[in-house]
Amino acid sequence: MKNTPATDLAPVAKRPTPSGGFQAWLPRLVLAPSVAISLFFVYGFMLWTFVLSLTSSRMLPSYDFVGFGQYARLMQNERWWVASTNLMIFGVLFVVICLAIGALLAILLDQKIRQEGALRTIYLYPMALSFIVTGVVWKWLLNPQLGIQAMVQSWGFESFRFDWITDPDMAIYTLVIAAVWQASGFVMALFLAGLRGIDDSIIKAAQLDGASLPRIYLRVVMPCLRPVVFSAVMILAHIAIKSFDLVVALTGGGPGYATDLPATFMYAHAFTRAQIGLGSASAMLMLGGVLAILIPYLYSELRSRKHG
């Protein structure tokens, strides 16, 4: 094949056909290492974790199979239930409150106010921090002798109490506070982008029909934002399930193990308490939880792409 300008376009157009030869294989060759690596390190280790969860492994992996015995032990483990319940409480509150605050902030910012850029940056900044930093800062703020309680008491309100972090029943809500503080600005940015994408003429039409502003947002704008809500829920839900660093920095799982989450449970058992089998079983259940959220998401994504 001669490389004259006149025939140059032809092979490019035909690239997907077998006659492309090396050209067609090049992208696959280039991608092959990363595919192989992720197959091995992600899916391979997932499989290995599953295999380990069926064994009696303690300090080091062993292959003495005990069926679903580790899962049975996990089900009887009170701390696992505390961790799972905590995840439910934390996950639901975190997602719902973040969505509510994020949407509200976005709508308020959308009123063509002055200095919107600066305000937006302020709200978005917490997202730039790592959860470790957020955890440490909130740990001090929530400490009854250093933080908010001490400050309000020093103003003269001696009876003011805000000691949730020391109370096993309330401590899980301190995680929600810190996580919401961190992530709601991000949700706001998502909503704001969504709001900016809505055609002005729809809103103008609603105004002409005499709809009030709250009504326009509730009945016209919000339904248009459904895809944004969906993405936000997906992102927040997986942040909630993966939460580990926030717990470690903010409460250390305490008081007692009142703020344990499945991720911290898994780490503690697999790596510090020499119970790799039990830890793997809990990791598999967490994977199940993630898949339960991810599969419907992927399903709907793929379906809408086919239709679109």
Partner 1 sequence: MSTLQKTTLALALAGATLATTAHANEVEVLHWWTSGGEARAANVLKELMEAEGYGWQDFAVAGGGGETAMTVLKSRAMSGNPPSAAQIKGPEIQEWGELGLLGDLNSVADAEGWDELLPDVVADIMRHDGQYVAVPVNVHRVNWLWANPEVLEAAGVEMPTTLDEFFEAGEAIREAGFVPLAHGGQAWQDATVFESVLLGGQGSEFYQQALVELDPEALGGEQMIDALEDFKRTRELMDEGMPGRDWNIATAMVIQGVAGFQLMGDWAKGEFTAAGLTAGEDYLCAAAPGTQNAFTFNIDSLAMFRVSDDEEREAQQALARLVLEPTFQEAFNLAKGSIPARPDLDMSEFDSCAQQSLADFQRTAEEGGLVPSMAHGMAVRADIQGAIFDVVTNYFNDADMPAEEAAERMVSAAQAASF
- Minimum CB separation of residue 207 from partner 1 in Å reads 46
Contact status: 242 vs partner 1 (CB under 8 A) = yes
d(CA 113, CA 111): 5
Name which of 145 and 159 has its Cβ closer to partner 1. Answer: 145
Contact status: 139 vs partner 1 (CB under 8 A) = yes
Contact status: 143 vs partner 1 (CB under 8 A) = yes
Name which of 133 and 287 has its Cβ closer to partner 1. Answer: 287
- Minimum CB separation of residue 146 from partner 1 in Å reads 7
- Minimum CB separation of residue 190 from partner 1 in Å reads 22
Contact status: 148 vs partner 1 (CB under 8 A) = no
Of residues 114, 272, 306, 308, which one binds partner 1 by CB under 8 A? 272
Contacts of 206 (CB under 8 A, 6+ apart): 215, 216, 219, 220
Q: Residue 95: name the closest of 239, 218, 194, 227 by CA.
A: 239
Of residues 71, 162, 163, 231, which one binds partner 1 by CB under 8 A? 163
Q: How many residues bind partner 1 (CB under 8 A)?
A: 56
DSSP code, position 257: T
Enter the tokens of residue 304: 């809408």
Q: Could you tell me where the DSSP H helices lie in 77-147? A: 78-109, 116-124, 131-142
Name which of 198 and 294 has its Cβ closer to partner 1. Answer: 294
Whether 189 and 124 have beta carbons less than 8 Å apart is answered as yes
DSSP code, position 16: T
Contact status: 124 vs partner 1 (CB under 8 A) = no
Whether 246 and 131 have beta carbons less than 8 Å apart is answered as yes
Name which of 125 and 140 has its Cβ closer to partner 1. Answer: 140
Contact status: 66 vs partner 1 (CB under 8 A) = yes
Question: Is the backbone of residue 58 left (phi > 0), alpha (psi -120 to 50) or beta?
Answer: alpha
Enter the tokens of residue 220: 């016209």
Q: How many CA atoms lie within 13 Å of 233's alpha carbon, on the beta-carbon side?
A: 12
- Minimum CB separation of residue 39 from partner 1 in Å reads 13
d(CA 58, CA 80): 18
Tokens 């505390």 -> residue: 82
d(CA 262, CA 282): 7
Q: Maximum distance among all alpha carbons in the chain?
A: 90
Q: With contacts defined by CB under 8 A, name the span among 85-93, 126-134, 178-186, 243-251 that binds partner 1.
A: 243-251
Name which of 97 and 276 has its Cβ closer to partner 1. Answer: 276
Residue ranges in 44-63 that form contacts with partner 1 under rule CB under 8 A? 45-46, 49, 56, 58-61
Contact status: 166 vs partner 1 (CB under 8 A) = yes
Of residues 94, 131, 138, 257, which one binds partner 1 by CB under 8 A? 257
Contact status: 286 vs partner 1 (CB under 8 A) = yes
Cα–Cα distance list, 122 to 4, 100, 189, 210 (Å): 57, 18, 11, 35
Of residues 144, 173, 222, 235, which one binds partner 1 by CB under 8 A? 144
Contact status: 251 vs partner 1 (CB under 8 A) = yes
What is the contact surface with partner 1 in residues (CB under 8 A)?
41-42, 45-46, 49, 56, 58-61, 66, 69, 73, 76, 78-79, 139, 143-146, 163, 165-166, 168, 171, 242, 244, 250-258, 263, 266-275, 277, 279-280, 283-284, 286-287, 290
